[in-house]
Chain A
Amino acid sequence: MKKRIPPGPTSSGKSFADISTRAQNGDAVVMTAMEFKEFVRTNGIKKAAKEVDIVTTGTFGAMCSSGAYFNFGHSDPPIKMQRAWLDGIPAYAGMAAVDVYLGATELDDSNNMMHGGAHVIEDFVRGRAVRLKATAHATDCYPLKEIDTYVSLKTINQAVLMNVRNCYQNYAAASNTSGRTLYTYMGKLLPELGNATYCSSGELSPLLNDPLYRTIGIGSRIFLGGGEGFVIWEGTQFNTGVERTPNGVPKRPAGSIAVLGDLKQMTSEFVKGLTFTRYGATLGLGIGVPIPILDEDMAKACAVTDKDISTAIFDYAQQTRARPVLAEVTYAQLGSGEVDIKGRRVPTSPLSSIYKARRIAELLKKSIAKGDFVVTEPVQRLPLDRSFKPLDTMNDKEAME
């Protein structure tokens, strides 16, 4: 696959360490992504690069690849949990004795989508008690076979949100040319191009303001669900080889981040159990990332607006991996409330809450300005050479080729 990644920085500027120290002393100029774009419009890139230190970005949307792990402590007599349920939702217990991982999209045996793993995670965040049941084959060191009790964030040792793929850099949009309503992870798609949905906070979205991952990397401290968290790895399905604009902005889903943070710090304003009818449960999550304006290239990157970011609207009527593209559109067009698909005016829905994305950018700005939130330099950059492989049915020999 041909890569279209433009070269790295071209102008010398401020160092990460300088910016971070200035911020901790309360001397940094911090702007939200909204304010920064306005500043660039009136003052230009050069002045923006010189005067602004940090830009705060934000996003709030359904992030399916989320979950949390918990350590409950030991019962007396102890149990090595083999199967575990939190409020009836199965949690993965195949790690030692009393650690489990609860996935956001996990459902109970009846497939009740109104209450999945994500809803249990929200219940924890709200401070509610959650029923824990576990079973085990007894051992000499862990004799207990069964436990049925209640736990909450107050009783649990560690409760950590750990998500393998969040904050997608750009995302595909969806519509439906079929004659029936489709219920998808892109929401309810009305028949005959009745509506179109998209899911990115566009110009406010973290990775769209740092398209070549110059400042967001492993070890970056971020706003996560109302508390603090970190980028811990590239997100799964990380894919750098997509087509990009001359400024490096991908035109299709590209990068993403794996993140981790203390659930005990989070709030239900930014951690929400969601239900997409006939699709399932998922977690509504708020993430904010500060971007240091190291130089003019970074300023240019953060000046990106919805007019410069485009994506494709795919036809979800086609139930295959390669869905046909109905239209190429910009986020400005999607955000106008209507887009043109095959000569028809089709109303749009965002799915991603711009209201909350803005709120996150504001909150992050305030806590950086107060010196509460320390901006960290990544210890390792995200990769620039990942492709996204499909899953095909093959035999063992083919799988090794």
Chain B
Amino acid sequence: MKTKLVLNFNPEASNLPITHNLTAKYGLLVNILRAEIDEVGGKMVIEVSGKAESIKNGIDYLKEAGVGVRPIKEGVRRDDDACTHCGVCISICPTKALSLDRETRKVIFTEEKCVACGVCIDACPPRAMEILI
């Protein structure tokens, strides 16, 4: 099973070896999709994979450690009305979640490929891409 989680840290929690512990103690595979952490805490988007039971225990561990945990199904959303299909995003999206349909010349957003890295957010001129964190 795989889940994407948004983690919110306070300054104390940001010093804990959280991802290491999730792997070492709960046998979870952790993939960091996005991290914005400094001395005053921060945010992180991770994808964890493992048994459902282990994921649940891992989340409990995070909560006990004082980390805000929120699962996300959808990290990034596109406002289809706002999108002008300009294509600014297609060369900067690292996973090709945003790509050009050669036939219609529309820009397609493939949510399954999106890793919520956020690179497209401030690159999109009409601000059609929105990160739900």
Contacts and interface: CB of A to CB of B under 8 A. Distances in A.
Interface in A267-286: 272-277, 282, 284
Contacts of B88: 187-188, 197, 349-351
B87 A350 contact: yes
A5 interface: no
B123 A277 contact: yes
B90 A349 contact: yes
Contacts of B106: 355
16 contacts: A61-B86, A187-B123, A194-B91, A194-B92, A275-B126, A284-B86, A284-B126, A337-B90, A349-B92, A350-B87, A351-B87, A352-B86, A355-B84, A355-B104, A356-B85, A358-B105
B18 interface: no
A236 interface: no
Interface residues on B, range: 20 to 34
**Which 4 A-B pairs give the minimum distances between C-beta atoms?**
A274-B125, A195-B91, A347-B91, A355-B85
A182 to B, nearest CB: 12
Interface of B: 84-92, 100, 104-107, 119, 122-123, 125-127
B81 to A, nearest CB: 9
A206 B71 CA distance: 49
Contacts, number: 76
B100 A337 contact: yes
Contact of B125 (A275, A348, A354): A275
B125 A276 contact: yes
Contact of B87 (A190, A275, A349): A349
A114 interface: yes
A60 interface: yes
Contacts of A284: 84, 86, 125-126
A353 interface: yes
A349 B91 contact: yes
A272 B84 contact: yes
A349 B104 contact: no
Contacts of B91: 190, 194-197, 346-349
A109 B58 CA distance: 48
A274 B89 CA distance: 14
* Size bracket of the A interface: 20 to 34
A194 B85 CA distance: 21
A62 interface: yes
Nearest to B86: A353
B92 A355 contact: no
Contacts of A282: 125
Contact of A195 (B92, B104, B125): B92
A349 B89 contact: yes
B42 to A, nearest CB: 20
B105 A354 contact: yes
Contacts of A60: 84, 86
Contacts of B90: 337, 347, 349
A353 B92 CA distance: 16
A275 B85 CA distance: 15
A30 B97 CA distance: 38
Nearest to A274: B125
A350 B125 contact: no
Given A188-B92, A349-B91, A356 B84 contact: yes
Contacts of A346: 91
Contacts of B85: 353-356
Given A351-B87, A353-B105, 7 more contacts: A194-B91, A194-B92, A197-B88, A197-B91, A284-B86, A284-B126, A346-B91
Contact of B127 (A114, A188, A337, A354): A114
A60 B100 CA distance: 16
